[in-house]
A = this chain, B = another copy of it.
Amino acid sequence: MPPKNTQPKYRQIADYLREGILDGTFPAGQPLPSEDALAKQFGVTRPTVRQGLTELRASGLVEAIMGRGTFARSPHGRPSLTRPRGVRRTSDGQYVEADGIRWTDAEPPVATRTDAPLALADLLRIPPGEPMFTYDALQTADQGRLRQLHRTYVPFSVLIDTKYEEEAPPPAPELYTALADLGHELHFTEYVRTRMPLPDQAQALRLADGVPLMHVLRVTLTEAERPLALEEFHLPGGELELSFRL
């Protein structure tokens, strides 16, 4: 017997559609053939067609809109927004983001106390379980078209013997000014990761199916490389790129 070299039918359908999207047969924004039409064309039942389409949706090549059809998405376009990563210090001592985006809190930010989980304690060089001030915000800009989840952590141990033993420190970026006023020279390191979002993250960031999350950790450090604070950004991966000067 020769080895079976046949792909499953649902994958043949997915391959056919994927190639059509990549080579322009199915232009971005245009509807694909309906599920019934594909089932007839390939001589299979609709669940088989849907299995192929599910694969394309999970890879972000296609978007299904209820009652209207399944639409090709632009596969490899340059992201519509480039965000330069960095922090600048203005002449009056304020710190501002290099991308100049003015964020608005979509909901009132939540200030809580968190015990440092292992992964964050490691980056902050504090013992796991040490308490930290935590700010949590869903931020929007550009009439809600831009969204990010922003969380700021400051370990209590950094705030000992400062006025912030009494009052809560401000969230970033005002936090940087406050830390600099304590006599520190600041610099920053960012760690960039990516993964698929959890459902609540996908909803908060308005992520379509098959669009990954960009996860950025920013550590604020003194000149002596002592970590002072940590921020976590969850960004939509679809139409966004980050730029860094090396």
Q: Which A residues are closer than 8 A to B by beta carbons?
A: 15, 18, 47, 54, 58-60, 76-79, 82, 85-87, 119, 122, 187-199, 210-214, 218, 237-238, 240-246
Contacts and interface: CB of A to CB of B under 8 A. Distances in A.
Given A195-B237, A212-B237, A243 B78 contact: no
B85 A245 contact: no
Contacts of A192: 192, 214, 241-244
A194, A195, A237: residue with the most chain B Cβ atoms closer than 10 Å? A194
Contacts of A119: 76-78
B59 A196 contact: yes
A245 B196 CA distance: 25
Given A58-B58, A85-B244, A194-B214, 18 more contacts: A18-B199, A54-B54, A60-B195, A78-B119, A189-B243, A189-B245, A189-B246, A190-B244, A191-B243, A192-B214, A192-B243, A193-B237, A194-B194, A194-B212, A195-B212, A212-B212, A244-B244, A244-B246
Contact of A85 (B59, B60, B238, B246): B246
A117 to B, nearest CB: 9
A196 B189 CA distance: 26
Contacts of A86: 246
B212 A87 contact: no
B187 A246 contact: yes
Given A85-B246, A119-B77, A246-B190, A238 B59 contact: no
B193 A241 contact: yes
A116 B194 CA distance: 28
A192 B245 CA distance: 11
B197 A59 contact: yes
B243 A190 contact: yes
A196 B54 contact: no
Nearest to A118: B78
A89 to B, nearest CB: 12
Contacts of A47: 47
A187, A211, A246: residue with the most chain B Cβ atoms closer than 10 Å? A246
A240 B218 CA distance: 16
A127 B52 CA distance: 39
15 contacts: A18-B198, A58-B58, A59-B197, A60-B195, A60-B196, A79-B193, A86-B246, A187-B246, A190-B246, A191-B242, A192-B214, A193-B241, A194-B194, A212-B212, A218-B246
